[in-house]
Structure 1
Amino acid sequence: MASFKAALLLVAALSLNSILAYDGTTCCELAKSEGAFISPAPAFENQTCGQSYSTSLNAALPLYVNYTFCSSKCRGMGLSKFKEPSEWAAPLVQFILPSVIFSMTIPRRKKIEFDYVFDQRIKITKKKRWFWINEFAQLARSMFYFSIILFPVFIDTIVWIAVIVIGAGNMLTGGLYEAFLDYRIVRYVETRNRSGRDNLDVAELEMKRELLVTIAAGNLKLDEDKGAPQAMILNSLTIPGVGDPSDGSEKSRSRLLNLLGSQSSFGSAVGSPVLFYLGSFVYTILDLQTNPSSQDAAISLGFGIEWMIIVHVAIVSGCLLASNNPSTSSGIVGSDHEALEESRKHYLPRISSDWATLRPPQGPEETSDRRSRQWIVHKILGWSDAYDTKFQPVSLWSRGSNKRLWIEKSKAWANDADFRKLMKINGWGWAFKVFFPALMLIAIPPATGGVVAYFTPPRGLGCRSLSFIVYASCQLAVTIIATVRCAVDDGEKDDKRKSIAQKLFTGMGFKIISAPFWFGSFISAIGGTTMQITGVFRNCICYSDARTWYNINNINPAVDLASDTLDARNSSHFWIKMGSTATVFMALNCYIGWWYQRLIRHRFTDAVKAMYVLPEVVTLPGGNARPAPDDANENAPLLNGDSVSEEDARPPQPEGASNLEEQTNEALLVAGAGGHPPASATSDDSRGDEIELLPHPARGGAIVDS
């Protein structure tokens, strides 16, 4: 009841219905004229109001009034003045907006977009000589529409920033969990390479490829309606290149490295921008050394430190190897693209029946009701997937759990107990390898910012410092819940088969438990920053001790109205220490993230290099040589000296291929990739004789003819 009463008093004090606007200097002069200062009050000639810092001036003496006088004579809020940018522009421009830029690098699943407004055509005239009028009208209308849709895009950005701030604990936990799994997978593959495993073993190579694909693409959804990426990407890796004699195993190495390269390097995406971002903190710290009682600079620094949390999330997401953009994976597989769906609906029905197998399957979900809902969501609200591909990534806070599902579907998990043991995390592992690092990243920014606010005069618990404490406490709870969720989530969708812990910490139970702490994070971080920038926190209640709010009228606490006091000057030591601590901590995190990604990328590349299969060469009588036959093509005939039947010379056809496709493949074999005969290459053998390399008709290998 007491806390509810204190909340009502705070709301009343912050009400816009207040007649007067709070101003510390004006209130101090009024108290001085009325003799309202309470003991210990200095002599009248030593009562200085509104003093600014100067090395030639002594610190001002504190001037206290009781809360009754302040609330009755100095009511209202000291809203920020546009003509004084230090009150509102400093935290916004120096810290908050630069940190918001990093939100663009954090992977997301949904976005607001109205791209269809550019598809509408205008036909003012049909005369060819006046077609430029149609084009000009089209450009003018598209520019007008674009200016309109900028507003919902701005709202989308604000919402995304809010999601990052309130879900930072979830995102950091999911990202660190994925980083841990990536490191274990690379170590396992390296161990098998060093143990002398036979790279000629097809099963061994397939297992390694599957695990490396899990690292590079394990952030994609495993739902069947999202294209089953685990199986499709793995199968697409070993498809031989068109017109290239290299076999599928060699091509898979290039495709794996292409998957790895699709993720931007940490330095260009996050590392270098962080170094420039820290410059504003260094400048503010140096400014506080020259003006140690600048409360505006101190509070700007405090809230800027709190918004470091966005940069910490960007650092964790930037050091992961799985690409945020699934376009590369979709390109390797050749999956559908959203932009082609409409054209497919219009054009595929007109194509001959030989190509009917390319039509997308029409299931029962393709109903008019479903299409109507999609039309409303996309056309009116602009809500759509972040990427126009069949494959879709999961959210950052689900990436660790989703990669775990990829791992559990792998052949290594099914066949190797050592691998299952390596991927297992015990309770201490969850505490020290996932939870504790996430807690450090989530707690240090608001903790150091809270110390800055606590030592900003008037010292003590107030509106500003409490906003930091509430945010840190809520994110602590969010991080604990997120860690438990990652530990118990096994992808089970059926509630009847879930354990009690899974029902509580996954699915709807997870959202219900987390909702109060997400709301508290939103009010304290987003709301607190907004109230500080607008000046809502400048009022009598916020300048009094928060421990008296429950009965503030009867306790009647003291409120200090003086500026540039000795306490203010001494507080700068805490401001500078906390600002330096947060700055060094972020620089250290950036260095660790940079180092981790370089390390894992290097190990990933080395693992791919170790998967090279050296072709075996069989020397035949008379100097002839050819690649050693494999089990599936043991009796492959030679083109040099052996008779080749028409059936053997034909390329293998995929099962179910039509006559048209068989004829096309045979024509490509004879004509080559550009409609020309396949070129032969010459080289020298060890004896210095010229040898000729021709493509093998059935295996895509090479026949060596001396």
Structure 2
Amino acid sequence: MASLPSVGDLVPQLAGLSPIPPGHRAPGLGGQNFTHCCLLAVNESLAVGSDGNLTYTATPFVAPGVPIGALGGDGGQFPCGASFDGDVGGAPPVRVPYDWCAARCGGWEMSRPGATQQWVGPLVQFIVPSLAFCTNVPRTRKLAIPDVVFRGRPRSPAGFASYWLRLLGAFLLVTADTFVWLAICFAFAGPMLLSAVYEYALDRRVLEFLAAPPETRPAAVPSRLRAHLLLAVVVGNLRMATLETHDVERAGPRTRRHDSVVSDDSELTTAPVNSRKIGEVVHNTIWKRVTAIVEEYEAARLADREDEPVVSLPTKLKSLLNSQASFGSTIGGPTLFFIGGFIYTVLDVENNLGDNDTAHALAFGLWWMVIPYLAIISCAMLASNGTSALNGIVYDGSTVTRPDEYEPSFWAQQIKKAEAYPVLGWAIRQVEGYSPIETASEGRFQTVKLWKRGLNKQEWVQEAIRDYEHSASEGAPGDRLSPSDLRRSLQLNRRDVLYVLFGAAFAVLVPCCLAFLTSYNTPQAGLSCRSLTYLVYAVSQACEMALWASAARLRVRHGARWSEACPTSKKVAWWGQVFVGFFSIFAAAGGTVMQLLGVFRSCTCKVPVRYWPRLHDPSAYIVLSDNTAEDIAAAQHWWTATGTTAVIVIGIVCALAWWHQRRLRKVFRDEADRLETDAW
């Protein structure tokens, strides 16, 4: 009697099947293969009957109603490793309980080099463009490259050999610096966007106040105030020092600066002022240096020296405005190319319907659209991201004046406290003078971090108001704009605040929502590892923005002494930022790394979160087959919809940002030109 054939004889895909996944890597280190797991499940679902034909076992893993001939090659797709071939019916579903998957297919599956949608696609299509976008986000610090790297002279054998090592070292440092900055931008995009939108709203408020018809204002705006407000618009990103230069030279006990709405980032040791004349208006030294161009122009106009061959104040103001690179060249063009590439990705997914790797790669790209939004909003502001133009227009004190004193940052305060301990103090002194970090701008003028720019510009506007209030108190009473009316006119109202909150939340949450919907509705539908990552990121960004907004409100109300006036709120805001920042960094950096490596391809992540407390429940099943009818239906319903929505929204946001910036730039130039004709 002839022996019966084996399952492998009747199903070629199962011939020579081993219980161990192919490869040499351990499953716990990424060596699992879920296509191999699918083959094991199919193999355990089939048996050979007494007549020599295939039959299902008592507890098959293949979905009920699937003809057994479809698994043996008699029509239909084999479920393991299937791909879309135009048939929306797809391949037969193969479902296994979680217990079976954990026992037979533990560990996770590392991304395969040949599977482009697992890591190459997300890396090249979304992360690499984000590296270019993040370079347009203003920053204050960067990784310092040692001068020794640039001293190579390839004119001798030794110099030629070291030349390539120096070049490689510089390349690695720049690459590390860019990736670190990208990670910071992604993890803290919420506060950055909120501050940027706040600054934009403040610019609009100031310029619309200056350009308003005379009949809508209580009184005319003096030319000096107009010039100061225009300066605040274009240089309001400069951080302010603590004391006046001429006061620094006086000895005395350390005192605090005047009320301020923002703390600065470095600490320099100079003596503070100990006495001032009664009634003397106290201005920041940076403010006084920058507004010197207004003082010079005002003195020339009052002395009737307008014909002198000097650069006029309107020209200087417009030069500062034009020092901000064109929106189209910095962000408009790159966004257009990014949208074009994303459109191709959306159209190309139609050829891979049912492929879950393609679905999750699309969701990953939608999530990373937060970076283009951040770059677009950052480039829509009027203040230049650099200080080169200002250094060429305004005298910064050079080396003849002592360094400016700034409010110490939190870390500077902690280092100061640590120096009191012998061991820590000795360690700090050993590395004193060495800094692997350098400022992004050269010269005495330094910018503030993006998440502080909105509040910093608010301080510049307040300085202009204080200067006007001081001059108004010394002048003769008359039909002048009162300081209270001025403050009220330049203060953001509730509608402006709502616009700021909505604009920042929209730029952060829309990409997260689209990514969440795509992953959530990819079978097995439900909240799982990837969609949970997007949800945690969105919630952490919303919490970061809420903490930033609450701290900003207190800073505006109480000035730099808000931590003294509200110590409990200060601690809650700081520790809240630390707590929420941990989850934000984990979701942004950790989620990206796990997506690219493939850590999410595991039994636990293939089960919806609702089953995690009861993984042994029979309903906690895992779909191991590919290209099922459910996969194809979800792809047709969600992939094109979310991808198209993302393209349309980012295009509209970019166009609106460009239009509004052009409008405000036109208002600024018109108001600057009015300084030539207005009376001083």
Partners of 2:142 and 2:177 within 8 A in 1: yes
Compared with structure 1, are the counterparts of its residues 551 and 191 closer, same or farther at alpha carbon in structure 2 (3 Å cutoff)? same
Task: Give the Cα separation in 2 of the matches to 1:255 and 1:30.
Answer: 75
Which structure: larger Rg?
1
CA gap of 1:137–1:251, structure 2 versus 1, over 3 A, is farther
Counterpart pick for 1:401 among 452, 455, 465: 455
What is the CA-CA distance between 1:24 and the residue it aligns to? 2.7
- Residue among 19, 35, 39 paired with 1:25: 35
Tell me which residue corresponds to 2:529.
Answer: 463
- The alpha carbon displacement at 1:305 in A equals 0.8
The 3 A distance-change label for structure 1 pair 313 and 63 is same
Summarize the Cα distance change of 1:522–1:268 in structure 2 as closer, same or farther, 3 Å threshold.
Answer: same
Match runs of 1:64-103 below 5 Å: 64-103=95-134
Q: Structure 2 counterpart of 1:465, which letter?
A: S
Partner of residue 594, structure 2 = 531
- Greater Cα shift, 211-220 or 62-71: 62-71
**Aligned residue number for residue 330 of structure 1:** 391
Question: Helix, strand or coil: the match of 1:325?
Answer: coil
**Aligned mate of 1:583, from 642, 647, 656:** 647
Q: Which residue of 1 aligns with 2:68?
A: 44
Is 1:180 aligned with 2:201?
yes
Deviations 1:151-180 (A, max 9, x none): 333222222111111111101110111111
Match 1:232 to one of 280, 289, 292:
289
- In the TM superposition, 1:444-483 aligns within 5 A as 444-483=510-549
Any idea what SS the aligned residue of 1:106 has? coil
Would you say the 8 A contact 1:77–1:535 is kept in 2?
yes
TM-score of the aligned structures, taking structure 2 as reference length? 0.75
Correspondence list, 1:89-238, <5 A: 89-117=120-148, 141=162, 144-191=165-212, 204-224=222-242, 228-237=285-294
SS in structure 1 of the partner of residue 307 of structure 2: coil
Q: Deviations over 1:250-304 (max 9, x none)?
A: 7111100011011112111111210110112111111122332232222111101
Q: Deviations over 1:679-703 (max 9, x none)?
A: xxxxxxxxxxxxxxxxxxxxxxxxx
Correspondence 1:242-391 to 2 at 5 A: 246-247=307-308, 251-335=312-396, 358=400, 360=402, 376=431, 379=434, 381-391=435-445
Matched with 1:566 is 629
Distance of 1:373 and 1:456 partners within structure 2: 53
CA separation of 1:497/1:518 partners in 2, compared to 1, >3 Å: closer, same or farther? closer
CA distance in structure 2 between the aligned counterparts of 1:118 and 1:476, rounded to whole angstroms: 42
Within 5 Å, give how 1:682-697 maps onto structure 2. none
Partner SS state of residue 559, structure 1: strand
Q: Which whole-Å CA distance do the structure 2 matches of 1:603 and 1:187 have between them?
A: 8
Residue of structure 1 in register with 2:555 after alignment:
489
Q: From the superposition, tell whether residues 461 and 96 of structure 1 become closer, same or farther in structure 2 (CA, over 3 Å).
A: same
Other-structure match for 1:126: none
The one-letter amino acid paired with 1:232 is R
Q: Distance in 1 between matches of 2:37 and 2:44?
A: 11
Give the aligned residue type for 1:93. V
Measured after TM superposition, the shift of residue 539 of structure 1 is 1.2
Aligned equivalents of 1:223, 1:237: Cα separation in 2:
19
Question: Measured at CA, do residues 40 and 221 of structure 1 come closer, stay the same or move farther in structure 2, by a change above 3 Å?
Answer: same
CA, structure 1 residues 257+377, in 2 after alignment: closer, same or farther (shift >3 Å)? farther
Match of 1:544 in 2: 607
| CA shift in 2, pair 1:70/1:599, >3 Å | same
Separation of aligned partners in 2, 1:246 and 1:416: 34
User: 2:672 pairs with 586, 608, 613, which one?
Assistant: 608
Change (3 A) 1:249 1:605: farther
Q: Please say if residues 30 and 599 of structure 2, whose CA atoms lie closer than 8 Å, have aligned partners that are also in contact.
A: no
Query: Which SS does the other structure have where 2:525 is aligned?
Result: coil
**Native 8 Å contact 1:112 1:382 kept in 2:** yes
Task: Please name the residue that 2:491 is paired with.
Answer: 424
1:553–1:378 CA distance, 2 compared to 1 (3 A) = farther
The code of the aligned residue for 2:293 comes to S
Residue 359 of structure 1 and its aligned partner are, at CA, apart by 6.4
Quote the offset at 1:248 in angstroms: 9.1
Q: Relative to structure 1, is the Cα distance of residues 88 and 516 closer, same or farther in structure 2, using a 3 angstrom cutoff?
A: same
Q: Which runs of 5+ in 1 are unaligned?
A: 1-14, 123-131, 338-343, 345-357, 616-629, 631-706
Looking at structure 2, the residues matched to 208 and 278 of structure 1 have their Cα atoms a distance apart, in angstroms, of 40
Alpha-carbon shift at residue 554 of structure 1 (Å): 4.8
Once the two structures are superposed, the pairs formed by residues 487-526 of structure 1 within 5 Å of their partners are 487-490=553-556, 492-494=559-561, 497-499=564-566, 504=569, 509-526=572-589
Q: Relative to structure 1, is the Cα distance of residues 372 and 181 closer, same or farther in structure 2, using a 3 angstrom cutoff? A: farther
SS at match of 1:492: helix
Deviation at 1:28, TM superposition (A): 1.6
In the aligned structure 1, how far is the partner of 2:108 from the partner of 2:432?
41
1:655 maps to: none
Deviation at 1:541, TM superposition (A): 1.1
Distance change >3 Å, CA 204–CA 141, structure 1 → 2? farther
Q: Distance in 1 between matches of 2:430 and 2:448?
A: 23
CA contact 2:196–2:377 (8 Å) conserved in 1: yes
Per-residue deviation at 1:446? 0.9
Aligned partners of 1:378 and 1:150: how far apart in 2? Answer: 25
> Aligned partners of 1:464 and 1:556: how far apart in 2?
21
Range with greater deviation from structure 2 (169-178 or 158-167): 158-167
Corresponding pairs, count: 559
The one-letter code sitting in structure 2 at the alignment partner of 1:117 is V
Shift of 1:197: 11
> Are the aligned partners of 2:152 and 2:162 in contact in 1 as well (CA < 8 Å)?
no
Corresponding residue SS for 1:216? helix
Residues 174, 493 of structure 1: alpha-carbon distance in 2 compared, 3 angstrom cutoff: same
CA contact (8 A) 1:219 1:394 kept: yes
Cα distance 1:465–1:56, how it changes in 2: closer, same or farther (>3 A)? closer
Question: Which 10-residue stretch deviates more, 310-319 or 81-90?
Answer: 81-90
Q: Is contact 2:61-2:96 (8 Å) kept?
A: yes
Per-residue deviation, 1:22: 2.9
Residues 131 and 178 in structure 2, CA contact (< 8 A), matched pair in contact too: no
SS at match of 1:65: strand
Name the aligned partner's letter for residue 484 of structure 1: S
Letter in 1 for 2:488: K
d(CA) in 1 for partners of 2:587, 2:32: 23
Task: Note if contact 1:21-1:74 (Cα within 8 Å) is conserved in structure 2.
Answer: no
Map of 2:504 onto structure 1: 438
Cα distance between partner residues in 1 of 2:609 and 2:367: 21
Q: Distance in 2 between matches of 1:79 and 1:387?
A: 42
The Cα shift of 1:371 comes to 14
Higher RCO (CA < 8 A, seq sep 6+): 2
Task: Give yes or no for contact 1:20–1:74 (8 Å, CA) kept in 2.
Answer: no
Partner of 1:387: helix, strand, or coil? coil
Contact 1:237 1:332 in 2 (8 A): no
Corresponding letter in the other structure for 1:166 = A
Residues 1:614 and 1:476: Cα distance change in structure 2 (over 3 Å): closer
Would you say 1:595 and 2:659 are equivalent positions?
A: yes
Aligned partners of 1:264, 1:74: CA distance in 2, in Å?
54
The answer to whether the 8 A contact 1:263-1:323 is kept is yes
